[in-house]
Amino acid sequence: MINRVCIFLCCVCVLGGCGINDEPMPQIVSGSSYAPRVIPPRIIAPKQNVRGSYSNISRSWFPPSQLEKGWRAVIVHHSATDFGNAAIFDKWHRERNHWEGVGYDFVIGNGTDSDDGEVEVTFRWRKQIPGAHCRAEPNNWANEDGIGICLVGNFDKTAPSSRQIQSLLKLIHFLQKRYGIPNNRIYGHQDTPGARVTDCPGRNLSISRLRSMLN
Ligand SMILES: [Zn+2]
């Protein structure tokens, strides 16, 4: 009974924690005598430095060149479950949310249903289509223009493994270099401008620490 309740709650977290939207990054304008205002999102910048050299990067991380678009933020999630992988989340998101499939672009395993630190690439990244991981105003910007990375685990209860963090850093480095995404556009779900209130990615995954490790 307890296990069934836990599984149910985990599913609720996964399904409820990540909506279908994303938005632009508000920026405070300094030097004004008025209250700070929010600058509307810019049109996505063209791909930057996309033909730079990359070493020791999985070919699967590179989208098909004819489909590749520009991206301007990275949104980090936890699955809020103890287990899972891209195929499991894909099944849940199809059956329970009636989505096209798993909402994330990448899933980083914790050793349960995929290897610890294994990076799985989903159909959303391969097709370069909007995600379904972070609804944010305005205009669903985070799903449209943000790259969704989910680490398997409930980081309110446990912490990400060192291999998960290593893989996350490597993946984010790659995405930053390829799309010109600065550290201040690496968000946790709950810190994403315009996002709905959520605990994701959990109290034990610190985005400020992650950003410092990216420096
Ligand atoms: Zn999330």
25-76 residue pLDDT tens:
333 333 333 444 444 444 454 444 455 678 889 999 999 999 999 999 999 9
Question: 112 CA distance to ligand 1 centroid (A)?
Answer: 19
Percent of the chain as helix, strand, coil, to the nearest 5: 35, 10, 55
Model pLDDT, residue 90: 98
Model pLDDT, residue 145: 97
DSSP letter for each residue of 114-170: S-TTPEEEPHHHHHT---SS--BTTTTHHHHHEEEEEESS-TTTS---HHHHHHHHH
| 121-165: pLDDT as tens digits | 999 999 999 999 999 999 999 999 999 999 999 999 999 999 999
Model pLDDT, residue 51: 54
pTM: 0.80
* Percentage of the residues of the chain whose pLDDT score is greater than 90: 73
Model pLDDT, residue 20: 37
User: Residue 93 pLDDT more than 70?
Assistant: yes
Picking from 100, 82, 79, 101, the residue whose alpha carbon sits closest to that of residue 90 is 101
Model pLDDT, residue 138: 96
Phi-psi region for residue 153, left (φ > 0), alpha (ψ -120 to 50) or beta? left
Question: 32 CA distance to ligand 1 centroid (A)?
Answer: 34
Question: 200 CA distance to ligand 1 centroid (A)?
Answer: 5
Question: 73 CA distance to ligand 1 centroid (A)?
Answer: 14
Model pLDDT, residue 75: 98
| 102-119: pLDDT as tens digits | 999 999 999 999 999 999
The Cα-based distances of 102 to 94, 95, 130, 181 in angstroms read 7, 10, 11, 24
Question: 201 CA distance to ligand 1 centroid (A)?
Answer: 6
User: Residue 174 pLDDT more than 90?
Assistant: yes
Question: 35 CA distance to ligand 1 centroid (A)?
Answer: 31
Question: 196 CA distance to ligand 1 centroid (A)?
Answer: 10
What would the CATH number be for the domain defined by 2-40+63-214? 3.40.80.10
Token pair listed for 67: 């489909």
Question: 197 CA distance to ligand 1 centroid (A)?
Answer: 10
Question: 58 CA distance to ligand 1 centroid (A)?
Answer: 25
Question: 151 CA distance to ligand 1 centroid (A)?
Answer: 10
User: Residue 168 pLDDT more than 70?
Assistant: yes
Q: d(Cα 78, Cα 92) in Å, to the nearest integer? A: 15
Question: 45 CA distance to ligand 1 centroid (A)?
Answer: 25
| 177-208: pLDDT as tens digits | 999 999 999 999 999 999 999 999 999 999 99
Q: Domain spans of the chain? A: 2-40+63-214
Question: 31 CA distance to ligand 1 centroid (A)?
Answer: 34
**Placement of tokens 């790259």 in the chain:** 147
Picking from 104, 152, 145, the residue whose alpha carbon sits closest to that of residue 125 is 104
Question: 51 CA distance to ligand 1 centroid (A)?
Answer: 31
